[in-house]
Amino acid sequence: MNSLKYLAPPLLVDAAAIGRDIARTFAHGRSLARNKVHYNSCDGQAVFVIGNGPSLTDINLSLLLPAFPCITCNYFGIHPLAKSLNIVAHCTGDPATKVFNKHVVDGLAGVDAPAYWLHYSSSNYVPREFRSRAFFYLPSSSPFSAHISGYSLAAAALPYQSTVQMSISVALYMGFKRIYLIGCDHDWLCCGQFTSHFYDPEPGVSHPSAASGDFSRFSYSDMIDISGRLFSHYRRLGRVAGRLGAKIVNASSKSYLDVFERRSYERCISEEQELIRNS
């Protein structure tokens, strides 16, 4: 009985969260059903998920040309190779509100992809020219909901804390079995007073779309807690990938993300080229 006293509140919270996810899935069912066209559309292939970290400036993305599939994030349209890479999906993960929605347009600019994945709250802010290729991600209130739905993006899906995590879920849903992360530095605890990206040539926010420094809003101890939750989400994604027969490899130079196997970017490219030659 004593154990039930401690278990009941978390169980009730989870039950309420699952109920909320079911209600939201039903409310957005027509929009989410469109996502099914991407289910296992790239079964068994490899993909490079490209984050916006500063180490991207040290990575020769031209090695991905002409055909390696890529999933890009947020403001990757600023990159010189944005229109040259084989981008199979582009993700913009921030929620949108009436006050905060400019990032939806900014995040889509400069990238020509067959599919744009956005937070479901962005549906009213997608420009007309992108609507036919816009697909919406409904993050669950409880990770149990995604487990129940089989990690389908046509229902409440795994929660995420970063757009890279959203991109990994999209990659898994599309059926990619080898997922390589580049430009995923996750160096916020050591980068000083600014949020760094590949498009910041020097310390400080230099691009108008860049976020303001996290330390201006959070204490260092807050950032430790936020980073801890972020890494927990990555560990969950690693477990899900294993269940789906997929593998996530961190090929990001200078990255602090140590929950996945580390491998150099050049080695990943070489191994994939060898697989292609032998196929």
Asked if residues 85 and 116 have their Cβ atoms less than 8 Å apart, the reply is: no
% of the chain residues with pLDDT over 90: 56
Q: Is the domain covering 2-278 a CATH 3.40.50 domain?
A: no
Nearest to 116 by CA among 74, 176, 158, 59: 74
Average pLDDT, the chain: 86
Indicate the pairing of strand 69-73 with strand 134-137: unpaired
**Is pLDDT larger for residue 117 or for residue 217?**
117
Q: Where are the domains of the chain?
A: 2-278
Q: For the chain, how long is the longest CA-to-CA vector?
A: 63
Reported as a single tens digit per residue, the pLDDT across 115-126 is 999 999 999 999
Reported as a single tens digit per residue, the pLDDT across 251-262 is 988 899 999 999
CB atoms within 10 A of CB 170: 25
**Is pLDDT larger for residue 217 or for residue 47?**
47
CA distances from 14 to 17, 148, 152, 241, 266 (A): 5, 13, 19, 23, 43
**Is pLDDT larger for residue 182 or for residue 198?**
182
pLDDT score, position 268:
96
pLDDT band at 209 (very low <50, low <70, confident <90, very high): very low
Whole-prediction pTM = 0.88
Burial per residue of 46-73, b for 16 or more beta-carbon CB atoms within 10 angstroms, e otherwise: bbbbbbbbbbbeebebeebeeebbbbbb
DSSP three-state, residue 260: coil
DSSP three-state, residue 123: coil
